[in-house]
Amino acid sequence: MSRPRILIDGDTLKLEEILQVARNEATVELSSDAATRVRASRALVDRVAAGDTPAYGINTGFGTLAEVRIDKKDLRDLQRNLILSHACGVGTPLPFTEARALLLLRCNVLAKGYSGIRMETLALALDMLNRNVVPVVPERGSVGASGDLAPLAHLALVFIGEGEAFYEGQRMPARQALDRAGLKPVILEAKEGLALVNGTQAMCAVGTLLQLRAESLADIADVAGAMTLEGLLGSHKPFIPEIHDVRAHAGQKDVAAHLRRILVGSELVESHINCSKVQDPYSLRCIPQVHGAAREGIAFSRRILEVEVNSATDNPLVFAETERIVSGGNFHGQPISLAMDVVAMALTQLSSISERRVEQLVNPALSNLPAFLAKNSGLNSGFMIAQVTSAALVAESRVLSHPASVDSIPSSAGREDHVSMGMTAALKGRQVSDFARSCLAIEILVAAQALDFRLPLKPGKGALAAYELVRSKVPHMEKDRELHRDIEAVSQLVDSGELLAAVRSATA
């Protein structure tokens, strides 16, 4: 089956399309209008390069060396040296999906026609995507202004046949990867090196995939909370529309409505309708308020990313219509840095309240269930350490939630005197999302054990669908076993989308 095609025009790329290309589930093609704009901006760069007027990055040095004039005979070397000197990233390479997203986003900004790139250079980038040549890009080394210089330089190395790339899953020298894919490196002309390394595409690549995962985890958090609520015989009343209509935060209202759908048809709620308990703990009763606030933060981040991935972030910018090449600061990653910090904090909140619900489940003084949900407790420890693991992940997530966006270390001899730390924010947000997934998987696993003790009564339709899917992969725990295997099994149901799909099908 042929893969769908996504048209790249610099203006209309959607976050979901980035994910498709990142997973190599779609091909890319440049729109004809974008090609026209690219050629027009390149023509202006060629005219300026042929003249004697200083133009930053075209016939001058870079950063603090912007006042140094470069001879015309050295302009090719200037661009090549820029790529080589800036490729000083360290650490683990970006995963394939993030590296492909990075390449796609760079193509999209070049397609806007404000970069001055040649068509043949942009065509090589698109061919690399379609033939799955994935540059090796170390994930550390960017301070987020002038954009993601080091990661983008490693990306650009492959364009000139330097550095390394993955091809058919194998890591090799870039020139060899290009050759195997039937591609040839380019010789960069005036401005092209700068056009490849200026911008926020690395933080946006990591950030976009983090964003989409965070949105999914927000839904999973509601499912986990609903399962726990049913396992603890909690009240459904805190989710009635009237409560949320009088405090009309959109996220709060959405979560309450989602919970009502998940819980509809519950047999358990009828079983304790006349119980003496007046109020549930906050971790149950305030799910809409806490999860809703997290959703609001995640929604803020989406708005920022949707603008940024279709923005011109080069310096200087090439305006062919007015024949101006102007230096500015669109490469500064502050909007993304702040957004990624907010996502990390939102996910940490979801993890934190999830861990408190796990405590409610395993503590017999709070649950009126067997201690740690173990049969023959004492001989068996049950889910005692599952709560401890969740607590450890929450503690580390809190450390990682310290905002990177308020930090700055000047660089380039003081010329770049305020930077965004956007890549730092995105990378730590990615780590927090891993922890959040694990915390929610632990809660779902423990809640399923609690629901076992409530049989034959069944939870609401959505919670029941999640419970049954978990039980198809992980049996009830009769006696102690290696819980890390169970946590991993539930984590895979979360990551694959199977769990959400089952709940959505049951509540449609």
Active site residues: 56
Closest alpha carbon to 452 in 464, 437, 440: 464
* Residue 306 neighbours by CB distance under 10 Å: 15
Q: What are phi and psi of 320, to 5 degrees?
A: -65, -35
CA dihedral of 106, 110, 111, 114, whole degrees rounded to 10: 150
Identify the bridge partners of residue 147 per DSSP, sorted by sequence position: 199
Cβ neighbours of 24 (radius 10 Å): 15
- β-strands 27-30, 5-8 pairing: parallel
Half-sphere exposure of 316 (CA within 13 A, CB side): 25
- Give the residue ranges of DSSP H helices in 232-317: 241-245, 250-263, 268-271, 282-285, 287-308
The answer to whether 343 and 210 have CB atoms below 8 angstroms apart is yes
CB 102 within 8 A of CB 200: no
Residue pair 3/27 in contact (Cβ under 8 Å)? The answer is yes
Token output for 435? 């922890």
Chain CA centroid to CA 224, Å:
21
CA nearest to 383, candidates 463, 458, 443? 443
Q: How far apart are CA 221 and CA 433, in angstroms?
A: 12
Closest CA to 295 of 232, 218, 186, 348: 218
Cβ 48 vs Cβ 181: under 8 Å: no
